[in-house]
Amino acid sequence: MADKKRHALVTGASRGIGEAIAIDLAKEGHNISVNFNSHQKDADEVVKKIKDLGSDAHVVKGNVSDKESVSKMIEESVNKFGPVEILVNNAGIISDNLLMRMKDEDFDKVINTNLKGTYFCTKACVPSMIKNRWGRIINITSVVGIRGNIGQSNYSASKGAIHSFTYSLAKELATRGITVNAIAPGYIQTATVDVLSDKLKDHIMTWIPMNRFGTPDEISGMAAFMASDKAKYMTGEVVRIDGGMAI
């Protein structure tokens, strides 16, 4: 259990990696704001799982790409559990295509959700962290933000930009008791990967030395560590969890 119960907001927490992170943080005794945008039933189920663990949680709707929606989400979360002390920027989307076929709106919506969403949520939470001289900001990115990928110029750009955002913000906040780190997962068994064809999965597997996809709990454990006091001297790090894919 954590030394102190904190308020953690996890964006995109209704399924997959976000759900696993929310549950692992709840196991540490923290109160969890479970953000969703499209899957309320799933988010409600995550809250139920957290309460069954003995921690408290609530569902909060919010579109991270919309500044006003983020403001309402943060306000609702703060009213429930107080200032956000642990922020996990997990919400993200893909809209893949080769650059020559990519529509401008597909580029924009990925950048707006993944990159600007991280910016909006972080900017809304940082003032109270500075005031309290304690905070944890954890950005969930992707290994393709490091190595790139065919058909994902928009997604890779958004995640690579978050890495630079992480480095810069870590320097800005280092003397304020706030750490800023990122986790760059490889291919993880989530709904996004499940929809891929068997042929594509087999091709992707040739890139992964461990010869398997990861699981959400193999990401969430690192997030729980980054949120803990054990990681208080760790900031500005991008940790790959990818089965060796980006070696």
Position 203 in a domain: no
Position 19 in a domain: yes
Per-residue pLDDT, 195 = 81
CA 71, CA 119: separation in Å to the nearest integer?
Answer: 12
pLDDT in tens, 21-72: 999 999 999 999 999 999 999 999 999 999 999 999 999 999 999 999 999 9
Higher pLDDT, 189 or 10: 10
Per-residue pLDDT, 73 = 98
Position 205 in a domain: no
Per-residue pLDDT, 193 = 81
Position 154 in a domain: yes
155 a catalytic residue = yes
Q: Concatenated DSSP letters for 129-177?
A: HHHHT-EEEEEE--THHHH--TT-HHHHHHHHHHHHHHHHHHHHHGGGT
CATH code at position 103: 3.40.50.720
Position 206 in a domain: no
Position 202 in a domain: no
Position 197 in a domain: no
Position 135 in a domain: yes
Whether the Cβ atoms of residue 28 and residue 59 lie closer than 8 Å to each other = no
pLDDT in tens, 58-104: 999 999 999 999 999 999 999 999 999 999 999 999 999 999 999 99
Per-residue pLDDT, 149 = 94
pLDDT in tens, 166-218: 999 999 999 999 999 999 999 998 887 888 888 988 999 999 999 999 999 99
67-81 and 117-132 helices, crossing angle to 10°:
40
The number of domains in the chain is: 1
Q: Which domain holds residue 52?
A: 7-188+215-240
Give me the chain's average pLDDT, please: 96
The catalytic position among 119, 155, 187, 233 is 155
Average pLDDT over residues 142-148: 96
Tokens 């306000």 sit at which residue?
A: 75
